[in-house]
Amino acid sequence: MTKTMNNLLLLILLSLGFITGNEALAASHTPPQKQAEYTIMVYLMGSDLETSDNPSASNCIGEMCESNRSSSVNLIVATGGCKEWYLANPKISNESVQYWEVTSDRAIILQNELLPKDKMSDPQILSGYIKWCIENYPSKKYVLILWDHGGGPISGYGQDVLNDNKGISLPDLKNALAKGLGGKKLELLGFDCCLMGNIEVASALCNYAKYMVGSEELEYGDWDYNNFLKGLSNRPSMDGSDLGTLIVKSHCDTIKGKTRLMVTMSLLDMSAIANVRNEWDKLFSQIDSGKDIQKKYRALAIARSRSESYAEMSKYVYLAGLVDMYDFADQIQESYKINTLPLRSAIKKAVIYNRNCNLRPNSNGVSIFFVDRKLEQAWGLGDVLEKYLGSKISTLYNAFMNKYYKDIFGGEAYRILGNIELVNKKVNIQGNYEYSVAIKSAKNDLDLIESISFITGYSDNRKFIATGVHSKIELEEDSGNIYFINTGKQFCIEKVPVAIYWDRNIDRIKETVIAEKDPDHKISGNKRTGKAGAVPVGSLAIKYKGETCFLVVAQKNNNEAEITYMWSEREFGDRVVPAWLKDPPKLGEKITILYRHYIEAKELSYEYVDGPTVALSNYTIKNEAVKSGNYFGTFLIEDILGRWIWSDYVPFTVNKAMLDNAVKLEKENKLAQKESEKDLLADAQWED
């Protein structure tokens, strides 16, 4: 009866505006009797990640309830920002923000309802939540986990579908933590979302947390709350470094056990972030002082194109502009001949624990924003620049970025960086099946090439439908000649040709002298990866359940590629953004293959048209003979700024003679490979 009267009084006070939702919480809650070791705060903004077929947020709450925690660990969850929750018990409101205490077997509501006007994308709601948890759940150490979408320094954290899909910008997130913590410091700040493992986020928030966990890449799946909460309960005395390591390890081990996915996650020491930022400023101060603008801009553009980048599964859609900081510094040293060892050493000290996969082999734990051609074509110069400069990470670096943007993407790129041209757009034919073109540019301009493909399909010289993308191209750097041998085979799903667009398919072998004083310098000669064992990654467009989606594939060898996962895209304002990452369609489900239709032949713009519909029977895509008939092909060269250079079309016929020649070539290649392996073995024995 007393509880009922108290709740009634609270509702009256709320309706009259005498107290706020947070004050109502404080009035209705009985604080714990003793101080805990940890209070973990999870800010669970459900967004569009909570769906009927994949209720991710609800699943996380379910995991938390199963974690069998001790009384030394408090777990308080805030929910909201979602149109509908699919957790059967307890029933979560889709109209307001709520706080829950999650115990070992259930979630207990800590109040009836906050004001409906409260939105999780409001920084004041976040700061109020932090403050309330600290006041009502005292502990020796505090952890804040932010769950939802993430977009790095450009888009910030969160997407509140109850507030016009708004999120919390990085400056607002900084202010919310400052206000909510009231001078305290988090033991650990965790981002269970995409693209937040970067220097801009860490630098903005380093005064409010000892350690930070985040992902450089898009994050597949949610953290393993069950395992890391059990581990913390078993040893509640662990510090933020041990807890962060446990979170990273448990998440990556769980994802690794499912299938081959794109995974990056790291733990940062926030006390070391200022030194990383200072070394970065020193490096760009040196670069900015260089007098030869062409030399330094070319070096930076080339280094950017060869460095590990993130959120780039599809060309010309939503991108974050993020690149691995360590790899970028390494590539700058290679292309600009400037010592970046102090910066790379500072990064290694800041990254306590790092995990990645062979789809992102050069991920070293922390990324940074630096524009490239995809970002500019997707977002436009002004929008990106305005949002990034708003993060106010570094006055020096911001000024450099501003000038670099205007010089490179303001119409001066050809003069500053150079250009790629063909000697003749007509394709030369050697024999019956070997095609070639020659590059007119100077030899050092070949460094501007991002990718070369031979595109096959159907054409009437007014429109072109691309049904195949062939990336096994030979580039002679001395002569500038480009060769492609047409075998009549390409990657197919259920015998249907698919156009897989590979990211950076040109490899160059370079011998690099490694100075003894710089043992970490790792440029090994592979342009695409810089590291042995890396896997080429590409994507192909499909229609699945009425939506345009992209299957992300990893090449296993010349004849096989593996479907790893899928993401879909949707309109967000005037942009196209990824809606979610998830498992590919189940075996047996139907998909429609999509092909690019270039309305005006060889223009940058295109639209997708439907191809055949097939039932997916295997996640392995095989290199197979295509249907006999007449086709057209053309060379497509893309440079590091996204400029496209096309050759003329060349007609060809896939027939028995072409396929027989392909079998002959395959046998010859296998024999040549065996002889090469014998020679390598003999050389090794001679050296011994």
Annotate 587-635 with three-state secondary structure. CCCEEEEEEEEECCCCCCCCEEEEEEEEECCCCEEEEEECCCEEEEEEE
Confidence of residue 512 (pLDDT cuts 50, 70, 90): very low
Torsion, Cα of 50, 97, 577, 493 (10° steps): -10
- Written as six digits, the tokens of 509 are 């072998």
Confidence of residue 661 (pLDDT cuts 50, 70, 90): confident
Distance CA 2, CA 65 (A): 29
Q: Is 360 helix (H, G, I), strand (E, B) or coil?
A: coil
Contacts of 437 (CB under 8 A, 6+ apart): 422, 423, 424, 425, 426, 427, 428, 481, 482, 635, 647
Give the per-residue SS3 of 513-553: CCCCCCCCCCCCCCCCCCCCCCCCEEEEEEEECCEEEEEEE
Q: Is 170 helix (H, G, I), strand (E, B) or coil?
A: helix
How high is the pLDDT of residue 603?
Answer: 56
- Written as six digits, the tokens of 587 are 């075996």
- Written as six digits, the tokens of 480 are 């500038």
DSSP single-letter state for residue 259: S
How high is the pLDDT of residue 581?
Answer: 65
Among 392, 63, 432, residue whose Cα is nearest residue 250: 63
Query: CB pairs under 8 A, 24+ apart, for 602-605?
Result: 602/464, 602/634, 602/644, 602/646, 604/644
* pLDDT tens, residue by residue, 329-369: 999 999 999 999 999 999 999 999 999 988 888 999 999 99
How high is the pLDDT of residue 524?
Answer: 33
Q: Tell me which of 626 and 371 has the higher pLDDT.
A: 626
How high is the pLDDT of residue 576?
Answer: 47
Residue 578 has pLDDT above 70, yes or no: no
Residue 599 has pLDDT above 90, yes or no: no
Stretch 113-139: mean pLDDT, rounded?
Answer: 89
Residue 617 has pLDDT above 60, yes or no: yes
Assign 3-state DSSP to the chain and report helix, strand, coil percentages, each to 5. Answer: 35, 30, 35
Residue 143 has pLDDT above 70, yes or no: yes
Confidence of residue 3 (pLDDT cuts 50, 70, 90): very low
- Please, are residues 132 and 28 in contact by the beta-carbon 8 Å criterion? no
Confidence of residue 27 (pLDDT cuts 50, 70, 90): very low
Lowest mean pLDDT of 174-183, 274-283, 446-455, 516-525, name the range. 516-525
- Please, are residues 326 and 364 in contact by the beta-carbon 8 Å criterion? yes
- Please, are residues 444 and 480 in contact by the beta-carbon 8 Å criterion? no
End-to-end Cα spacing for the chain: 89
How high is the pLDDT of residue 114?
Answer: 59
Residue 13 has pLDDT above 50, yes or no: no
Q: Tell me which of 381 and 281 has the higher pLDDT.
A: 281
Lowest mean pLDDT of 28-42, 134-148, 199-213, 446-460, name the range. 28-42
How high is the pLDDT of residue 4?
Answer: 29
What is the average pLDDT value for the chain, to the nearest integer? 82
* pLDDT tens, residue by residue, 380-420: 555 667 778 777 778 899 889 888 888 887 766 767 788 88
- Written as six digits, the tokens of 288 are 């900015």
Residue 111 has pLDDT above 70, yes or no: no
Residue 94 has pLDDT above 50, yes or no: yes
Contacts of 97 (CB under 8 A, 6+ apart): 21, 78, 79, 80, 114, 118, 119, 120, 125, 129
* pLDDT tens, residue by residue, 214-223: 999 988 888 9
Q: How do beta strands 449-459 and 464-470 pair?
A: antiparallel
Q: What are the Cα distances from residue 38, in Å, to 68, 243, 379?
A: 15, 11, 42
Stretch 113-126: mean pLDDT, rounded?
Answer: 83
How high is the pLDDT of residue 369?
Answer: 92
What's the pTM value of the predicted model, to 2 decimals? 0.85
Residue 685 has pLDDT above 50, yes or no: no
Residue 602 has pLDDT above 70, yes or no: no
Confidence of residue 580 (pLDDT cuts 50, 70, 90): low
The segment with the largest mean pLDDT, out of 201-205, 318-322, 663-667, is: 201-205
Confidence of residue 681 (pLDDT cuts 50, 70, 90): very low
Stretch 72-97: mean pLDDT, rounded?
Answer: 89
How high is the pLDDT of residue 443?
Answer: 66
Lowest mean pLDDT of 201-205, 455-459, 490-494, name the range. 455-459
Contacts of 531 (CB under 8 A, 6+ apart): 361, 362, 522, 524
**34-271 topology per CATH:** Rossmann fold (3.40.50)
Confidence of residue 676 (pLDDT cuts 50, 70, 90): low
How high is the pLDDT of residue 238?
Answer: 97
How high is the pLDDT of residue 374?
Answer: 59
* pLDDT tens, residue by residue, 161-211: 999 989 999 999 999 999 999 999 999 999 999 999 999 999 999 999 999
Stretch 61-66: mean pLDDT, rounded?
Answer: 88
How high is the pLDDT of residue 113?
Answer: 52
Phi-psi category of residue 430: left, alpha or beta, with phi > 0 → left and psi -120 to 50 → alpha: beta
Residue 317 has pLDDT above 60, yes or no: no
How high is the pLDDT of residue 211?
Answer: 98
Stretch 305-331: mean pLDDT, rounded?
Answer: 79
